[in-house]
Chains A and B, each alone.
Chain A
Amino acid sequence: MKGTFTKNFNPLITFEHKRDTYGFAVRPQHLQRYREYSNIYKVEEEERSDRWEDFLERQAESAQSPVNGISEEEGNAASHTEAKIQEADTVVEKTLQEGDTIVDKTLQEADTIVENVEEASSGSKSAAEDPVENVPEQEEASAEKDTKMHKVQIWTHIRPSLISIEDMMSFRVKKRKNLLNEEQGVGRKNNLSVIEEERPSKGAPEEDSEDEFYDMERSDPVQDTSSLDNVNSSSGGDAVSPEPFFPWKVELESLVRGGVPMALRGELWQAFVGVKARRLDGYYHGLLATEVNAQSDKDFVSASNGTSKGSNTGGRCANEKWKGQIEKDLPRTFPGHPALDEDGRNALRRLLTAYARHNPSVGYCQAMNFFAGLLLLLMPEENAFWTLVGIIDDYFDGYYSEEMIESQVDQLVLEDLVRERFPKLVNHLDYLGVQVAWVTGPWFLSIFVNMLPWESVLRVWDVLLFEGNRVMLFRTALALLELYGPALVTTKDAGDAVTLLQSLSGSTFDSSQLVLTASMGYQTVNEARLQELREKHRSSVIAAMEERSKGPCVRKDSLGLASKLYSFKNDHGPLTKEANAAEGLGDLQTNGDLCPLELIGDTDADSLPDLQEQVVWLKVELCRLLEEKRSAVLRAEELETALMEMVKQDNRRQLSAKVEQLEQEVAELRQALTDKQEQERVMLQVLMRVEQEQKLTEDARRFAEQDAAAQRYAANILQEKYEGAMASLAQMEKRAVMAETMLEATLQYQSGQVKAVQSPRAVHRDSSTVQPTQEPAQDIPTRKISLLSRPFGLGWRDRNKEPIEGNINESGQSTVTLQKDTNGQQ
């Protein structure tokens, strides 16, 4: 199975660079982002292929036993006759598919195999079915000229692994049909369901499995309430084991939310929509065959065209009307898509024509061309037809009809939800005068085709088709508003807001984020809730519709009266009271307006007097005007607050200007301060340096003084010494003079004595008295000198050393004098 997956999407990827994997054009401004995301898509695709494969394998295992049991017994007999038809079938198919890039060949091959298996499994039923299907086809092929594509219309069954899913979903379809049957047993739909009811009787095994799925469905909480009602009415096979299917569906749901693999998408979508259960053999060909007959009618029908309004009775008349529109839209559907060549467009034409004939009350509505085109890219023509039928008739019942009432109702419902969920955003949009519906209306009508990047569109479709209702539309829209609300709030005018929302949603490439936000974040937005809200709004939409369909004359009249009433009302009381009154009236209206409107609708308008009619219109007008007034008041309040804000802002601007000025001044002052501080610092430094210098000089001075003192002191000492020396010198001199005189005196005396008595004994006596015992052997003359010189020889030598010689000479002299002296003393 995996082989077919990869084979299937690989060739598709190699499209020209301005088209995406599906062959759709990528807008030039999104090319870059698309390239960024294409790798992510590829990875996601691989992952989900694996997951689905795993799921389907397990599914096959659990389903194998019952299916095989039947096929082996009943199928064998039928399969022989079957096989030949099948083979012929596939040959035609293959050759034609070659020219058709839409459906991959490998897929087709797989399908035909599948077909065989399936035919075998459903046994006798398909034996009766297939000849019917193929024979008229061949007849057509020979009858018509553009035979080529008609053979491609061949109905193909989906692969067996998906059959259980298909059965489950088919059951939903049958339930709806039964419901319809009960409600309105008129018209063509009745015929459809009669045939539908006959079918199960053909194959008993099918019915068995249906009952099982039936139970499963019933236990599913997501299902809509209307189906629950039906369950009670026809709970036949209640006892059949529902357990094994319950977890299975939950898993399937999460798988679908994670995305459907490209290779399986076409078939799974068919399964989801319940194509098998919807299909009537030959119905599609029958619709197209009438074309030939219609063509002959055309000439005289065209004369009366435009007058009829698509009612059931004028089926053929309306025919012409949509015919032209379809023709106009054919080339305007995915222009340039490689698969929509001449053949593709022919298929599209047939598909849309068939649908318009199938459901004349809808006919053809723009947007269906895109849906049909998309479906044709994914599946064979008739399969696409039944899928389209499922989508438009069931999922979007009342959406694309002439009045598009459900579409308008849904927008009101969405507005309610948005108001509830995003009050801030809605406030802002109200302020800008933007209605959410301006943008979301096209989203819903196109089911996001051309509104989001394709990957996201397909992911939304996956979930939408699986769930079988429009809940996913709402959830996706809410998710988009959640994602982009914050950006929208910053916009300044209506144009910017709408442009932003359009461009942001147009570049929602993160499809997984979108789908998960939508399906996980808005669980409370479910079918029951939506139905409730729809009921609430439907009456007002219908009323507005009726009003518009009345001529402008009536309207103008009522307008005049209404405006009088409005101004009258306007004079009274405070605003709040009025708002309340308006609300009260609004309620009254919603409750009561259906009755008068029905009255008008049922009875002939001419028979009623104008007055009553006008009263009704007046009421409606009044309510509308009051509502408008209320919104005007709200808007005025908003504007007032806006004004206040602006004024505040203005004040703020002035204040901030002042503050700025002051700040500047402060800054300047600060600058000055710092300058001054710096100067001070510099001054201080200078001062310190000066001080230091001063200190240095002081020190120097002190040192100098000390030096000076020391020197003075030294000088003094020297002076003293000098004086002392001088004194002692003077003393010495005196003594020397004394000694000289004494010496002279003694000399004189001696000479006198010598002359008288010359006795050497005197000298000898002298020496013996001085040294009587000590040194008798000493030289007497030296001893004499040393003895004599000692008392003043010491001082002399200390004070004057230079004149030693002189001194010695002197001392020699002085010894003499000393001797004389001592002698003189003695």
Chain B
Amino acid sequence: MATSGNKNINAKLVLLGDVGAGKSSLVLRFVKGQFVDFQESTIGAAFFSQTLAVNDATVKFEIWDTAGQERYHSLAPMYYRGAAAAVVVYDITNQASFARAKKWVQELQAQGNPNMVMALAGNKADLPDARKVTTEEAQTYAQENGLFLMETSAKTAINVNDVFYEIAKRLSQAQQVQNPSGMVLMDRATEKATSSSCCS
């Protein structure tokens, strides 16, 4: 759910993707600027928050970093429900993780917020030699499905902030189109109404 008031946007963002794709590492890089070789497995989900300034708005991200294992899938709706943005992460060195990412995109398109800003992040771009998913393949898929693609590396910090910055930019633009003016409370109410009728 995204809410605006005096150009302050609170945006719920969810990270989805296969085990070990690097969801937690991406968030950790974005929020704390850190990277560890072995990030502890995420159980259930972990929460972070980070604020970004874009153009004339500040976007406060409420980030839910979900667990990657298939069976934790059943808990995911709880976290992506009402999310204003999603980052679907795959590992460019792992074709299966790309397949999994596609599934996530499908699910979000079917059950998520229709106005959701979706990003596809091909992580581990610092390992080009082990690449299994080509940029073209991913780019084609992203274009077909109205996502934006970025190949990232949590390890070297390439494109990590850019993904979130791009999302923030799109959110603030969408916000301006949706409600050029008006009261905060009204926005919230309508937002709630739309989100409750479109996702479970």
Residues in B neighbouring A628, C-beta threshold 8 A = 196-197
B60's nearest neighbour on chain A, judged by CB, is A495
Task: Given the known inter-chain contacts A403-B71, A408-B75, A441-B75, please indicate yes or no for A495 contacting B10, CB distance below 8 A.
Answer: yes
Of the 9-residue stretches A132-140, A151-159, A282-290, A631-639, which lies at the interface with chain B? A631-639
Find residues 1-35 in chain B having any chain A CB closer than 8 Å to their own CB.
1, 10, 12, 19-20
A632 and B196 contact, Cβ closer than 8 Å, known pairs A402-B71, A445-B44: yes
A332 pairs with B39, CB closer than 8 A:
yes
A502 at the interface (CB under 8 A from B): yes
Known interface pairs A328-B20, A563-B197; A450-B43 also in contact (CB < 8 Å)? yes
Determine if B49 is an interface residue (Cβ-Cβ < 8 Å). Answer: yes
B78 touches A494 (CB 8 A): no
Check if A366 sits within 8 Å of B10, measured CB to CB: no
Q: From residue A124, how far is it (CB to closest CB) to chain B in Å?
A: 45
B41: which of A329, A502, A545, A563 is its contact (CB, 8 Å)?
A329
A-B contact number at CB 8 A: 129
- Chain B residues, Cβ within 8 Å of A635: 189, 192
A279 to chain B, nearest CB (A): 28
Please name the residue on chain A nearest to B36 by beta carbon: A335
Q: Report B89-104 residues with CB < 8 Å from chain A CB.
A: 96
| A370, B46: Cα distance in complex, Å | 16
Q: Which residues of B contact A494 (CB under 8 A)?
A: 10, 12, 62
Question: Once the chains bind, are B41 and A639 in contact (CB under 8 Å)?
Answer: no
Which of these, A367, A438, A555, contacts B47 with CB under 8 Å?
A438
**Min CB distance, B10 to chain A, in Å?**
6
Interface assignment of A765: CB less than 8 Å from any CB of chain B: no
Q: Chain A contacts of B72 at CB under 8 A?
A: 366, 404
Rank and list the top 10 A-B pairs by shortest CB-CB distance, nearest first: A442-B44, A552-B110, A335-B38, A495-B62, A446-B43, A495-B49, A331-B38, A628-B196, A328-B20, A367-B43
Q: Interface readout for A425-436 with B: 1 if CB under 8 Å, 0 if not?
A: 000000001010
Check if A441 sits within 8 Å of B20, measured CB to CB: no
Known pairs A498-B49, A639-B185 / 8 extra A-B pairs, C-beta < 8 Å: A325-B19, A325-B69, A332-B20, A335-B39, A408-B75, A624-B200, A625-B197, A629-B196
The interface residues of chain A lying within 8 Å CB-to-CB of B185 are 639, 642-643, 646
**Interface contact B45-A441, CB-CB below 8 Å:** yes
Please report the C-alpha to C-alpha distance between residue A643 and residue B187 in the assembled complex, in whole angstroms: 13
- Chain A residues in 8 Å Cβ range of B75: 404, 407-408, 441
Within the complex, which residue of A438, A555, A556 is in contact with B78, where a contact is CB–CB below 8 Å? A438
CA distance A449 to B42 in the complex (A): 11
Return A611 CB to nearest CB of chain B, in Å: 22
Question: Chain B residue with minimal CB distance to A327?
Answer: B20
Given known contacts A335-B38, A495-B10, A642-B185, A438 and B74 CB-to-CB distance under 8 angstroms: no
Total number of B residues with any Cβ neighbor in A under 8 Å? 47
Q: Is A636 a contact partner of B111 (Cβ separation < 8 A)? A: no
A441 in contact with B1 (CB, 8 Å): no
Report A171 CB to chain B, min CB distance, Å: 32
| A544 contact set on B, CB distance < 8 A | 200
Q: Mind listing 28 A-B residue pairs with CB under 8 Å?
A: A328-B20, A331-B38, A365-B69, A366-B19, A366-B41, A366-B69, A369-B41, A370-B43, A402-B70, A403-B71, A408-B75, A438-B47, A438-B64, A438-B78, A439-B47, A441-B44, A442-B44, A442-B45, A445-B43, A450-B40, A493-B10, A493-B60, A493-B62, A552-B107, A552-B111, A625-B197, A628-B197, A646-B185
Report whether A498 and B47 are in contact in the complex, using a CB–CB cutoff of 8 Å.
Answer: yes
- Measured CB to CB, the closest approach of chain B to A392, in angstroms, equals 13
Kindly report which residue of chain B lies nearest to residue A501, judged by CB atoms. B47
Query: Which residues in A have their C-beta under 8 angstroms from that of B122?
Result: none
What is the CA–CA distance of A552 and B192 in the complex, to the nearest angstrom? Answer: 23
The answer to the question of A566 belonging to the interface, with a C-beta cut-off of 8 Å to chain B, is: yes
Is the CB of A334 closer than 8 A to any CB of chain B?
yes
Q: Does B188 contact A (CB under 8 A)?
A: yes
Cβ contact within 8 Å between B106 and A552: yes
Q: Contact: B106 with A499, CB < 8 Å?
A: no
B38 and A332: CB pair below 8 A? yes
Residues of B within 8 A of A646 (CB): 185
A635 to B82, CA, bound (A): 15
Judge if A333 is at the interface, Cβ distance under 8 Å: yes
Are B96 and A438 closer than 8 Å at their CB atoms? no
Q: Which residues does chain B contribute within 8 Å of A446, judged by CB atoms? A: 43-44
Report Cα–Cα, A727/B40, bound state, in Å: 145
The CA of A325 and the CA of B67, in the complex, are separated in Å by 12
Provide the bound-state CA to CA distance between A442 and B45, in Å: 6
Q: How far is the CA of A413 from the CA of B20 in the complex (A)?
A: 31
Considering only CB atoms, which chain B residue lies closest to A545 in the complex? B74
- B165 proximal to A (CB < 8 A): no
- A418 to chain B minimum Cβ distance, whole angstroms, is 15
Q: Does A314 contact B (CB under 8 A)?
A: no
| Residues of chain A with a CB closer than 8 A to B37's CB | 331, 335
Are B197 and A404 neighbours in the complex by a CB distance under 8 Å? no
Q: How large is the interface on A (under 10, 10 to 19, 20 to 34, 35 or more residues)?
A: 35 or more
> Could you say which of A331, A433, A632 contacts B1, with CB atoms under 8 Å apart?
A433
CB within 8 Å of B: which of A317-332?
A: 325, 328-329, 331-332
Q: How many angstroms from the CA of A625 to the CA of B38 in the assembled complex? A: 43
- When distances are taken between beta carbons in the complex, the residues of chain A under 8 Å from B107 are 552
Q: Are A632 and B192 in contact (CB under 8 A)?
A: yes
Find the B residue at minimum CB distance from A563.
B197
Q: Using CB atoms and an 8 Å cutoff, list the residues of chain A in contact with chain B.
A: 306, 325, 328-329, 331-336, 365-367, 369-370, 400-404, 407-408, 433, 435, 437-439, 441-446, 449-450, 493-496, 498-499, 502, 544-545, 548, 552, 555-556, 563, 566, 624-625, 628-629, 631-632, 635-636, 639, 642-643, 646
Give the residue name and chain of the B residue nearest to A404 (CB): B74
B196–A404 touching, CB < 8 Å: no
Residues from chain B with a CB closer than 8 A to the CB of A442 are 43-46
Q: Which of A328, A435, A631 contacts B19 (CB 8 A)?
A: A328
Q: Is B177 an interface residue (CB 8 A)?
A: no
Q: What are the residues of chain B within 8 A of A449 when measuring CB–CB? A: 43
The complex places the Cα of A807 from the Cα of B65 at a distance, in Å, of 148
Give CA–CA (A662, B74) in the complex, Å: 62
Residue of B with least CB distance to A498:
B47
Residues of B close to A502: CB separation below 8 A? 47
Name the A residues within 8 Å of B20 (CB-CB).
328, 332
Chain B min CB distance to A61 (Å)? 44
Contact with A along B53-96 (1 / 0, CB 8 A): 00000001110100111111011011100100000000000001
The CA-CA distance from A639 to B193 in the complex, in Å, is 13
Min CB gap B102→A, angstroms:
14
Q: Report how far A624 CA is from B111 CA in the complex, Å.
A: 14
Contacts of A495 in B (CB 8 A): 10, 49, 60-62
Chain B residues within 8 Å of A435, by CB: 78
Q: Is the CB of B78 within 8 A of A632?
A: no
Kindly state the separation between the CA atoms of A236 and B122 in the bound complex, as whole angstroms: 65
| Nearest CB of A to B98, in Å | 13
Distance in angstroms between the alpha carbons of A397 and B72 in the assembled complex? 16
Could you tell me the distance between the alpha carbons of A443 and B47 in the complex, rounded to whole angstroms?
12
State the Cβ distance, A275 to closest chain B Cβ, in Å: 25
For the complex, what is the distance from the CA of A183 to the CA of B133, rounded to whole Å? 49
- Could you tell me the distance in whole angstroms from the C-beta of B4 to the nearest C-beta in chain A? 13
How far apart sit A16 and B43, CA to CA, in the bound complex (Å)? 27
Considering the complex, give the chain B residue whose CB is closest to the CB of A401: B71
Q: How far is the CA of A329 from the CA of B71 in the complex (A)?
A: 15
Contacts of B10 in A (CB 8 A): 493-495
Cα distance A407–B106 when bound, in Å? 25
CB neighbours of A629 from chain B (8 A)? 196
Q: Which residues of A contact B110 (CB under 8 A)?
A: 552, 555-556
Minimum distance in angstroms from A55 CB to a CB of chain B: 35
B200 nearest CB neighbor, chain A only = A624
Query: Cα distance A530–B107 when bound, in Å?
Result: 33
Cβ-defined partner of A499 (8 Å) among B19, B49, B79: B49
Structural contact, A408 and B43, CB atoms closer than 8 A? no
B79 partner residues in chain A, CB cutoff 8 A? 438
Instruction: Give A18 Cβ to nearest chain B Cβ, in Å.
Output: 14
Cβ-defined contact, B47 with A631, below 8 A: no
Please measure, in the bound complex, the distance between the C-alpha atom of A334 and the C-alpha atom of B98, giving whole angstroms: 28
Interface pair A639/B188, CB less than 8 Å apart: yes
